[in-house]
C-alpha cells in the first residue's frame, strides 16, 4: 500500500460532524496475481470517536507491478483535532488453478489535523462576553465602594459641622 492520505471537510455547525476521504494506492510488488480485502476506519485521539467505512469492493486482480487507486469517502466524522486513518488490507493470492488464499495482513495509518474552527470561534465569543461582564461587574463594585465612601465621609462630616457651629 502506498500514498495513504486522509482529507477532512468540516461543517459550519460548531457541534456538527464532517466528511473525510481516505485515499491510497494498492501496489502488487510481488510476482503473483493478487487482490485484497479492505477495511478503512478513522478515529480521534486515544481511539475515540471512531467511524468505520462500510463494505469496500475488492480491487480487480492485480498482475505483478500493477497498481489500483482507492478513494473511500466517510460521513459523520467528528473534528477531534487530530484524526487517525487506518487502512487494513488482506492480500488474496490467486494461484493458477483459481483458488484464493489469504496472505499476511497489512495495516497502515496516516494522520490529519481537524480543527473545529466554528466551535473555537464560538468559545472565543463566549469568553470575550464573560470578560466584558466581569469588567462591568468590577466597575459597578468600584462605583458602589466610591459612593459608600463618599456617603460615609458626608455622615462623618455632618456631626463635626454641628459641633463647630454650636461653638
What is the tens place of the pLDDT at every residue in 93-109? 977 787 888 999 999 99
Instruction: Tell me the pLDDT of the chain averaged across its residues.
Output: 88
Rounded-to-integer distance, Cα 59 and Cα 17, Å: 29
Please provide the DSSP assignment of 105-157 as one string: -EEEEEEEEE--HHHHHHHHHHHHHHHHHHHHHHHHHHHHHHHHHHHHHHHHH
Say which CATH number the domain at 89 has. 2.60.40.1470
Query: Does 75 or 115 have the greater pLDDT score?
Result: 75
Domain count, the chain: 2
Check whether residue 150 and residue 167 sit in a common domain. Answer: yes
User: What pLDDT, on the 0 to 100 scale, is given for residue 123?
Assistant: 82
- Domain containing 26 equals 2-115
Check whether residue 128 and residue 95 sit in a common domain. Answer: no
Q: What is the pTM of this model?
A: 0.70
- pLDDT value at 165 more than 70: no
Check whether residue 111 and residue 125 sit in a common domain. Answer: no
Check whether residue 38 and residue 108 sit in a common domain. Answer: yes
- pLDDT value at 56 more than 70: yes
Decide if 104 contacts 2 (C-beta within 8 A). Answer: no
User: What pLDDT, on the 0 to 100 scale, is given for residue 38?
Assistant: 96
Check whether residue 130 and residue 79 sit in a common domain. Answer: no
Q: What percent of the chain has pLDDT over 70?
A: 93
User: What pLDDT, on the 0 to 100 scale, is given for residue 159?
Assistant: 67
Check whether residue 52 and residue 121 sit in a common domain. Answer: no
User: What pLDDT, on the 0 to 100 scale, is given for residue 6?
Assistant: 96
Residues in Cβ contact with 64 at an 8 Å cutoff, skipping those fewer than 6 apart: 28, 29, 30, 31, 32, 33
User: Is the torsion defined by CA of 114, 119, 124, 127 positive or negative?
Assistant: negative
Closest CA to 68 of 102, 105, 38: 38
Check whether residue 70 and residue 34 sit in a common domain. Answer: yes
Check whether residue 104 and residue 166 sit in a common domain. Answer: no
The mean per-residue pLDDT over the stretch 1-18 comes to 88
- Binned at pLDDT 50, 70 and 90, residue 12 comes out as confident
User: What pLDDT, on the 0 to 100 scale, is given for residue 166?
Assistant: 62
Check whether residue 41 and residue 109 sit in a common domain. Answer: yes
User: Is the torsion defined by CA of 28, 63, 34, 51 positive or negative?
Assistant: positive
What is the tens place of the pLDDT at every residue in 61-86? 999 999 999 999 999 998 888 999 99
Amino acid at each position: 500500500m502506498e500514498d495513504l492520505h486522509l482529507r477532512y471537510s468540516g461543517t459550519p455547525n460548531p457541534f456538527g460532524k464532517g466528511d473525510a476521504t481516505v485515499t491510497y494506492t494498492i501496489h502488487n510488488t510481488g510476482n503473483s496475481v493478487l487482490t485484497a480485502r479492505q477495511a478503512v476506519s478513522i478515529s480521534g485521539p486515544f481511539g475515540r470517536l471512531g467511524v468505520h467505512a462500510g463494505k469496500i469492493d475488492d480491487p480487480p486482480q492485480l498482475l505483478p507491478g500493477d497498481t489500483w487507486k482507492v478513494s473511500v469517502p466517510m460521513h459523520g466524522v467528528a473534528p477531534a483535532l487530530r484524526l487517525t486513518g487506518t487502512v487494513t488490507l488482506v492480500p488474496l493470492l490467486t494461484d493458477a488453478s483459481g483458488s484464493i488464499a489469504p496472505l499476511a495482513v497489512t495495516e497502515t495509518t496516516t494522520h490529519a489535523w481537524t480543527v473545529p474552527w466554528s466551535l473555537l470561534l464560538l468559545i472565543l465569543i463566549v469568553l470575550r462576553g464573560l470578560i466584558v461582564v466581569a469588567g462591568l461587574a468590577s466597575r459597578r463594585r468600584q462605583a458602589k465602594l466610591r459612593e459608600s465612601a463618599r456617603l460615609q465621609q458626608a455622615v462623618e462630616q455632618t456631626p463635626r459641622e454641628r459641633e463647630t457651629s454650636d461653638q
